[in-house]
Amino acid sequence: MSPLAVLAAIPSPSWSAFHLGPLTIHAYALCILLGIVVCLWLTSRRWAAAGEEPDTLWDIAYVAIPLGLVGARLYHVLITAPEDYFGPGRNPWDALKIWEGGIGIMGAISCGALGAWIACRRLGLSLTKFADAAAPGILLAQGIGRWGNWFNQELFGKPTTLPWGLEIDPTSYNFPHQYPPGTLFHPTFLYESLWDVLGALLLLWISRRGLLKLGQTFWAYVAYYGFGRLMIELFLRIDHSQELLGLRIHVWTAGLLVVLGLIMLGVYGRRPPQDRDERPDAGTQGHTLENAGTPR
């Protein structure tokens, strides 16, 4: 390995938690929490700029966020790595230890959307309009949350000699011992984080210019995120995963997001140009998401 690669490598943190008295604070949980806060902030600005009552955002969030977190954990426990919790010598109660890492964004998207649907239906709000408002913030939250994988030294990619290779502690549980100590790995957490942040900025730019119809912003997010995740899963990830027909299960779920997102983009794109909101009382000038692409 060249000296340049070693000097330029990305180090992994030597800690993943700290203590405040009897309380243990996990960096992984802080990354998730920070992502949620940023998502709520951005969504609240877009929701209000679209002419909606700001307080209704919190009514939706109280349902969507907990369900999203539950779905994220269930996806990991039941689909990604069930043998870690239900295999021989394993403790099923460890499935509750979300702070140790292990959530699936695919589960968060599906169950979070279910929670938003329940809340919007109860409140008489447009789910489609809310999803458009939330999409950029969700991508930002995902980009921030990915840094939790860095603190936990997990979910990295194949070995690399690139100068931004990621160092992993060879004594770590997650270090793949088929490789010698000192091996550098692709920092897939960083790739996905940058992809998500770029996508959020792109959605804000496109939305502000009124290039998308009602519903298309959310489904553009779904297709965009799915494509980036698909590339990482197909070509870079080496951590254990359940497989289906010889492919990682995440390849199938990411591919499904891409296909579904593109189909729904087409469906919503067939709407008449003037159809910018399915609620007639919220479609006036200055109160559409197309005019509220970025916070003012």
pLDDT digits over 240-282, tens only?
778 788 889 899 999 999 999 999 999 999 887 655 544 333 3
* Residue 148 sits in the same domain as residue 26: yes
Across 198-216, average pLDDT: 93
Closest CA to 101 of 162, 160, 150, 50: 150
**DSSP, residue by residue, 120-156:** HHHHT--HHHHHHHHHHHHHHHHHHHTHHHHHHT-S-
- Summarize pLDDT for 64-106 with one digit per residue, the tens: 999 999 999 998 888 877 878 887 878 888 888 776 667 788 8
Q: Which of 76, 103, 124 is the last residue of a domain?
A: 124
Q: Binding site membership: which residues? A: 146
Which band of pLDDT confidence, cut at 50, 70 and 90, is reported for residue 287? Answer: very low
Q: Do 265 and 178 share a structural domain?
A: yes
Residue 280 in any domain: the answer is: no
How many C-beta atoms surround the C-beta of residue 99 within 10 A? Answer: 18
Say if residues 96 and 76 touch (Cβ distance below 8 Å).
Answer: no
Whether residues 167 and 234 share a domain: the answer is yes
Q: Which of 188, 184, 207 is nearest to 135 (CA)?
A: 207
Same domain membership, residue 147 and residue 45:
yes
Predicted TM-score of the model (pTM): 0.85
For residues 261 and 267, what is the distance between their CA atoms, to the nearest angstrom? Answer: 10
**Average pLDDT in the 221-228 region?**
97
| 221 alpha carbon, distance to own chain's centre | 10
Domain end marker among 106, 124, 142:
124
Residues 37 and 138 in one domain: yes
Residue 89, C-beta contacts closer than 8 angstroms, at least 6 positions apart: none
Does 287 reside within a domain? no
**CA-CA distance, 179 to 198, in Å (whole number)?**
33
Distance separating alpha carbons of residues 266 and 188, to the nearest angstrom: 30
Query: Looking at the structure, do residues 157 and 250 belong to the same domain, yes or no?
Result: yes
Asked if 182 and 258 sit in the same domain, the reply is yes
Q: Classify residue 73: in a domain, yes or no.
A: yes
Q: What domain range is 33 assigned to?
A: 1-50+126-274
242 and 131: one domain? yes
pLDDT, average across residues 15-22:
88
Q: Looking at the structure, do residues 84 and 22 belong to the same domain, yes or no? A: no
**What six digits make up the tokens of 32?**
């998730």
Number of structural domains found in the chain: 2
Distance CA 84, CA 99 (A): 15
Is 135 inside any structural domain?
yes
Same domain as 130, residue 33 = yes
Cα 41 to Cα 137: distance, rounded to the nearest angstrom: 8
Q: Which domain-ending residue is among 92, 124, 156?
A: 124
| DSSP summary character for residue 77 | I
Residue 266: inside a domain: yes
197: burial class by Cβ within 10 Å (0-12, 13-18, 19+)? middle
Q: Answer yes or no: do 107 and 243 share one domain.
A: no
